[in-house]
Amino acid sequence: MGFLIDAKRLVFGIETKKTTYAFAIDNLGLVRHLYWGEKIDSLDDFDVPPLSEISSNDPILDLTDEEYPVYGGMRYKENCLKVLFADGTRDIEYKYDGYTQTDEELVIHLKDAHYDFAFNLHYKVYEELDLIERFVSLENKMNESVTVEKIHSAQLHIPYQDLTLTSSHGHWLAEFQEFKQPLGQGKIVLENRRGISTHNHNPFFILDRQATETSGEVYYGILKLSGNFSTIIEPRPYGGTLVQMGINPHDCLLTLNAGETFVAPAMLFGYTTEGFEAMSHHMHDYAKQHVLREGVRPVLYNSWEATEFDVQCDEQIALARKAKEMGVELFVIDDGWFGQRHSDADGLGDWYVNEEKFPEGLTPLIDAVKGMDMMFGIWIEPEMVNPPTQLLKDHPDWIYHVENRVNDTSRNQMVLNVTLPEVQTFIFNMIDDLLSKYDIDYIKWDANRPISQTGLSREMWVRHIEAVYDIARRVKERYPHVLLEACASGGGRVDYGMLENGFDDFWTSDNTDAYDRLTIQNTYSYVYPIKAMRAWVTDANNRVTIPLRFKFHSAMMGTLGMGCNILKFTDEEMKLSAELIEEYKEIRDVVQNGDFYRLNHTSRNNYYCYEYANESEAALFVFLPQTQIARTGVRIKLRGLDETATYTFMLAGAEVRKTGAYLMNHGIDVKLSGDYASTIIKFKKSE
């Protein structure tokens, strides 16, 4: 497994546990895609027949299944790379320039036939996970600059057109709304143009052929980018479907100066014949094995709903005491602790502790939290500034703005030009000062508006997020114990670019309604890891009062947090919260580190059923938001168990013992009643 190379015929294969991906250098010197699908062991089986034109309206360059099509010649299809040379040439004619291979990577080297300009196709393989990673790097070896008008990271070829696209759409408070649509004969474009937020679409795609959770062909991929991305899906006139992902070319130009290189964000993709469940397991395992730190995430309490901007030291300590009584492990003070921050109209940028709210600084609060044996976290929004702040008065040129235009504000704030080295230094030093001065374990990094008025710079859409990544990596290198949470008005920065550049957790959505979160979390689970999904119990809901138990069960499906005003909790609510937090800790390892299953059922009632399982235990979550007229229960068949082992669990108040084979093939009957009913059933494997 790994890389297979026929050096004589220039045929290349990438082999995973169950799949093969193959391409070759053809008779025209083009990098031609050959195959992506179930495993084929021998490269000898792959022919590379010469291409010939079908008609004068179907040029060879347009018909060739190129691995990485460029703009140039008689190509009218979507291209991955378009550049402008210094002499005005807007065309690439490439030739094969060899390959290099290590244990970790295969690189195909291509160069322009006239200009000393090279681009390299990079391939990595995660064999056991049936995943491949692709990206492209550019090298300008000339004395003149090159302007990059478009750069996509990869193009994939799928040999079918009868496919269904699954991805997400939405908006603030409604991120990760799943949609499905059949491919027609037009082009589908999913994108982000806002620089920061991706509430509307997310950089992933899933294409299937009548697949179910456990069967059927599924092709899928994600882009490791947090900013402006573009996904293009296009059925081809002569069959098959193309998928491209990369930096959105909208308003974007990159200048590659003499001697410079540029590396595009990576695209991770996979294929399975075993349905959506296998896809999710591969992506989750990739995150757990190659991205996320080991261990379990702490139970969190965040003070925002209790106090909003009106934070006071004594009240925060009182909240911490109540949180500790419940079993919380991490106390996070949210917005309002700094500058003249009494509303969203001031304070951002003036990152000093407000002395009226904290006369002795943050030390008394942190000491109190640490004295209760809890971790301490803090909220920041380092890329933003409010107009009244001293920072903006001292540095009016530090924001994105357009001359002769009124500066845009949204949520009463402007966006710092993070592409400036002095702004990057300011942000890093601010965070470094906080972490060196105070014993902080957790940072909630927020970003509450899109970027606008970018002026003459058209590469800032890329450079801004590169700078954010760089700052986060530097912070983690200096303070490796600190957990970073990616937040952008909720789920605006849920992507692998954030995870692989220093961040540990996602704030999944500002919508904390426990019922809404079931659908948000379901779509999130397709490609993103459960362990990074922060989910809170809060006072907020968009409907009639939801029981506290249902709220907890919904939030326990990820990394549990709380945001209620617990100072107003009754003794009964405190007791129930403590019991449920303790129950979460009992199943936390299997929830965060186990395998996740979206379970199907045939009940006439609208049950939501999910399972987490590892080698020794499983946890089954069952939700019934509303009992229908037919008061029917649900038969649930579990998955991922040891069919030869016996499992012990509680059902209807009695201890039950069943084999894994029975639980997976026959299943168990569960009946909930009323509105917003829920239960968790824990299965222990017998020794």
Distance (Å, rounded) from C-alpha 305 to C-alpha 54? Answer: 65
Which residues are paired to 217 by β-bridges?
A: 209
**Residue 629 scores a pLDDT above 80:** no
Q: Check residue 632 and give its pLDDT.
A: 85
Judgement on whether residues 237 and 92 belong to the same structural domain of the protein:
yes
Q: Are 497 and 224 in contact (CB under 8 A)?
A: yes
Tell me if 215 is assigned to some domain.
Answer: yes
Judgement on whether residues 183 and 198 belong to the same structural domain of the protein:
yes
- Residue 284 has phi, psi (to 5 degrees) of -65, -45
Judgement on whether residues 436 and 517 belong to the same structural domain of the protein:
yes
Calculate mean pLDDT across residues 321-344: 98
H or E stretch at 181: strand 177-182
Distance (Å, rounded) from C-alpha 8 to C-alpha 91? Answer: 30
Distance (Å, rounded) from C-alpha 677 to C-alpha 634? Answer: 13
| Tens of pLDDT, residues 520-549 | 999 999 999 999 999 999 998 766 789 999
Task: Single out the residue of 453, 443, 454 nearest to residue 476, CA to CA.
Answer: 443
Calculate mean pLDDT across residues 359-363: 97
50 Cβ contact list (under 8 Å, min separation 6): 26, 27
Judgement on whether residues 285 and 341 belong to the same structural domain of the protein:
no
Compute the CA torsion angle 180, 186, 188, 193 (nearest 10 deg): -140
> Could you report how far apart the first and last alpha carbons of the chain are, in Å?
36
Tell me if 355 is assigned to some domain.
Answer: yes
Judgement on whether residues 390 and 319 belong to the same structural domain of the protein:
yes
Distance (Å, rounded) from C-alpha 413 to C-alpha 386? Answer: 4
Q: Assess whether 47 carries a catalytic annotation.
A: no
407 Cβ contact list (under 8 Å, min separation 6): 387, 399, 401, 414, 453
Strands in 2-6's sheet, in edge-to-edge order, are: 2-6, 11-15, 19-25, 31-38
Indicate which residue of 26, 510, 513, 516 is catalytic.
Answer: 510
If pLDDT is split at 50, 70 and 90, which confidence band does 1 have?
low
Calculate mean pLDDT across residues 636-652: 97
Token couple for 474: 């530097």
What CA–CA distances, in Å, run from 38 to 128, 269, 400, 476? 14, 14, 49, 40
| Tens of pLDDT, residues 134-167 | 999 999 999 999 999 999 999 999 999 999 999 9
Judgement on whether residues 535 and 581 belong to the same structural domain of the protein:
yes
Task: Single out the residue of 45, 47, 40 nearest to residue 14, CA to CA.
Answer: 40
**Residue 568 scores a pLDDT above 70:** yes
What CA–CA distances, in Å, run from 356 to 174, 313, 339, 353? 37, 10, 10, 9
Judging by DSSP bridges, how do beta strands 267-272 and 261-263 pair with one another? unpaired
Distance (Å, rounded) from C-alpha 493 to C-alpha 509? Answer: 10
| Tens of pLDDT, residues 374-411 | 999 999 999 999 999 999 999 999 999 999 999 999 99
Q: Check residue 53 and give its pLDDT.
A: 82
Indicate which residue of 334, 350, 446, 516 is catalytic.
Answer: 446
- Residue 57 has phi, psi (to 5 degrees) of -95, 0
Q: Check residue 643 and give its pLDDT.
A: 97
Q: What is the CATH number of the domain that holds 671?
A: 2.60.40.1180
- Comparing 220-229, 483-492, 501-510, 535-544, the range with the smallest average pLDDT is 535-544
Q: Does the predicted TM-score (pTM) go above 0.85?
A: yes
Tell me if 657 is assigned to some domain.
Answer: yes
Task: Look at the chain and report how many structural domains it folds into.
Answer: 3
Judgement on whether residues 637 and 566 belong to the same structural domain of the protein:
no
Tell me if 295 is assigned to some domain.
Answer: no
DSSP three-state, residue 477: helix
Q: Check residue 543 and give its pLDDT.
A: 65
Q: Assess whether 97 carries a catalytic annotation.
A: no
Judgement on whether residues 283 and 410 belong to the same structural domain of the protein:
no
Q: Residue 383 carries which side chain, given as an amino acid letter?
A: E
**Residue 286 scores a pLDDT above 90:** yes
The residue range of the domain holding 611 is 599-685
53 Cβ contact list (under 8 Å, min separation 6): 59, 60, 63
Judgement on whether residues 369 and 318 belong to the same structural domain of the protein:
yes
> Which residue is associated with the tokens 């002769």?
404
Tell me if 565 is assigned to some domain.
Answer: yes
Tell me if 14 is assigned to some domain.
Answer: yes
Residue that terminates a domain, selected from 269, 290, 311? 290
Tell me if 113 is assigned to some domain.
Answer: yes
Q: Check residue 156 and give its pLDDT.
A: 98
What CA–CA distances, in Å, run from 149 to 62, 71, 87, 190, 501? 20, 10, 15, 19, 25
Q: What is the CATH number of the domain that holds 431?
A: 3.20.20.70
DSSP E strand stretches across 41-174: 81-84, 94-101, 105-112, 117-126, 131-140, 146-158, 164-169
Label residue 422 exposed, middle or buried (CB < 10 Å: 0-12, 13-18, 19+).
exposed
Judgement on whether residues 248 and 313 belong to the same structural domain of the protein:
no
| Tens of pLDDT, residues 299-328 | 999 999 999 999 999 999 999 999 999 999
Tell me if 639 is assigned to some domain.
Answer: yes
- Comparing 56-60, 304-308, 330-334, 503-507, the range with the smallest average pLDDT is 56-60
Judging by DSSP bridges, how do beta strands 164-169 and 146-158 pair with one another? unpaired
Label residue 365 exposed, middle or buried (CB < 10 Å: 0-12, 13-18, 19+).
buried
What CA–CA distances, in Å, run from 256 to 121, 143, 145, 470, 519? 18, 11, 6, 20, 43
Burial state string for 73-82 with b = 16 or more CB within 10 A and e = fewer than 16: eebebbbbbb
Calculate mean pLDDT across residues 461-487: 98
Residue that terminates a domain, selected from 262, 290, 318? 290
Share of the chain above pLDDT 90, in %: 94
Task: Single out the residue of 347, 329, 330, 346 nearest to residue 338, CA to CA.
Answer: 347
Residue that terminates a domain, selected from 541, 561, 593? 593
What CA–CA distances, in Å, run from 60 to 28, 65, 77, 429? 10, 10, 12, 55
- Residue 391 has phi, psi (to 5 degrees) of -55, -45
Q: What value does the mean pLDDT of the chain take?
A: 96
Judgement on whether residues 436 and 478 belong to the same structural domain of the protein:
yes
Judgement on whether residues 529 and 611 belong to the same structural domain of the protein:
no
Q: Are 431 and 380 in contact (CB under 8 A)?
A: yes
Q: Are 133 and 126 in contact (CB under 8 A)?
A: yes
- Residue 335 has phi, psi (to 5 degrees) of -60, 150
Calculate mean pLDDT across residues 500-504: 98
Residue/partner pairs of 59-66 with CB below 8 Å, 24 or more apart: 60/28, 61/30, 63/238, 64/26, 64/28, 64/30, 64/32, 65/32, 65/33, 65/34, 65/157, 65/240, 66/30, 66/31, 66/32, 66/33, 66/155
Around 235, how many Cα atoms within 13 Å sit in the side-chain half-sphere? 15
Q: Check residue 187 and give its pLDDT.
A: 96
Q: What is the CATH number of the domain that holds 261?
A: 2.70.98.60
